[in-house]
Chains A and B, each alone.
Chain A
Amino acid sequence: GENVGLHLPTLSVQEGDNSIINCAYSNSASDYFIWYKQESGKGPQFIIDIRSNMDKRQGQRVTVLLNKTVKHLSLQIAATQPGDSAVYFCADQNYGGSQGNLIFGKGTKLSVKP
């Protein structure tokens, strides 16, 4: 079956440093990938997405990198702030398929030290 997993369950960084959160996926048919941020007591919140025809996409302080060869994607957060503390999930989807459901990894908890 499909499996999207995260390499590290927890990540602790110093405020102002850059954070890198990694994710592996197994479904070769996945052509759309999303990173979500989930704060305590809230639902997942969209951060950034990338399609399989791209290797890199940048947003505000965030960058997603996709390596289709090894089925790996990462989320880079620049100048990490205390407000970035949350659990981060990657998710994949077969965008061209008949279903819109997402397959989520287990999540990485990011803690930012002041």
Chain B
Amino acid sequence: DSGVTQTPKHLITATGQRVTLRCSPRSGDLSVYWYQQSLDQGLQFLIQYYNGEERAKGNILERFSAQQFPDLHSELNLSSLELGDSALYFCASSVVGQGAGVGYTFGSGTRLTVV
């Protein structure tokens, strides 16, 4: 157990729908990162939050959004889902918001299937 908890583990939904993925960071970690892993794109950085504030954005679609709550858990919202959004979504956490270094820990991911 890495200490980073992601729920749900699996999610199947229809095109056009909206889903919310949840991440609880490792105790003491202030920063949360979201990554998408698809077969043809590998692991792609989506967005980072540090202590409740957005810190960096990567290749995140406008249909996707995220937030980090006062208790430091984070949610990734995916809307108007398309077949191509099917992927593994990973959350990682670290103590600091920059130069994360070795203290970067990944959760086990949420497998999203859009049908």
Contacts and interface: CB of A to CB of B under 8 A. Distances in A.
Q: How many B residues touch the partner, as a band?
A: 20 to 34
A45 B56 CA distance: 23
B108 A100 contact: no
Interface of A is mostly: loop
B96 A100 contact: yes
Given A32-B101, A100-B97, A101-B56, A107 B42 contact: yes
A99 B106 contact: no
A58 to B, nearest CB: 15
A107 B104 CA distance: 18
Given A44-B43, A95-B101, A105-B42, A100 B48 contact: yes
Interface of B: 2, 4, 31, 33, 35, 42-45, 48, 55-56, 58, 90, 92, 94, 96-102, 104-109
